[in-house]
Amino acid sequence: MADEPRLPQKRYFRQRAHVNVFNDMKFDYPERPSTQDWAPYYPAYFRANGAEADGEGEDGKRPLSEGTVVEAKRGPGCEAPEAPEAPNALKEEPNNLARVEFADIGCGYGGLLVALSPLYPNTLMVGMEIRTKLVRYLQKRIEALRAFQHGLLDQRSSRSVEWVDVRSKLDLEISALHTSSEAVDEPDNGETTRLVPGHYENIASMRINCQKYLPNFFAKSQLSKIFVLFADPHFKRRKHKARIVTQTLLAEYAYVLKEGGIFYMITDVRDLYEWNVKHLDAFPLF
């Protein structure tokens, strides 16, 4: 009998908040967006590399492979989305039908992604974080949540399964975002006992230094939303160049955001807020 999935505990994944983004750390990143393999992150949407399109896996299921989208699982009230028009950078890749549209930069423990997942069950979202332990925590949490959802789906035929109230769950997750650095384990908000639209198949976390490699992952005009929540304020003047909002980085954000896309920013540090507003107002594309 397979072991029952368990949510990871934050206290085992603590890591200091400050990381030198200019250090020469080792990262895996694609040469260009079209070569990024998203299959390990979104197995319900892409076939794994090397899988045969017409064959079946050991579990009797048809294997999935990179570049092939599968219809996202939807809950009550979630209508199938219209096929998005691919931007120019993707039109030469007819098999690349599924693409990430939301990016949470510096996602921390991933509370926002987990809360947004059932609200946008047909939208792929990625949390990008430089701290290794936090990336590992979030991916383990996502894998556990998917396992819980698959178990509930298996039970649905034999008994009534309740669907989670995703709006109240979003409020709980967002209220806990500013305390995430203290590594306090979240209470179970119902995601382990109730079905949610999308079943968390549309979210993933990856370790990346966004201040160096963001354009390697996303094509021009690919993203519709970028989130930067409670970023490191870097109070010292000599550290301001490491802030997540600078003229150089705004150029990269503008490149990967589609026209009409939204850049979300939350901070509880007034100095950082004023810095961000000043640079956004001065940048012609925002």
List residues with catalytic annotation: 232
Binning the chain into helix, strand and coil, the percentages to the nearest 5 are 30, 15, 55
Angstrom distance (rounded) from CA 157 to CA 25 = 49
Separation of CA 208 from chain center: 12
Predicted confidence band at 58 (pLDDT cuts at 50, 70, 90)?
very low
Q: Which of 56-60, 99-103, 217-221 has the lowest mean pLDDT?
A: 56-60
Chain segment 94-143, per-residue pLDDT in tens: 344 589 999 999 998 999 999 999 999 999 999 999 888 999 999 999 99
- pLDDT tens digits along 73-84: 333 334 444 444
Structure-token pair, residue 2: 């397979």
174 pLDDT higher than 90: no
* pLDDT bracket for residue 72 (50, 70, 90): very low
Contact 163, 196 (CB under 8 A): yes
pLDDT digit string, tens, across residues 155-165: 776 555 555 55
Which pLDDT score is estimated for 280? 93
pLDDT higher than 90, residue 263: yes
The answer to whether 266 and 226 are in contact (CB under 8 A) is no
Residue (of 14, 3, 4) closest to 181 by Cα position: 14
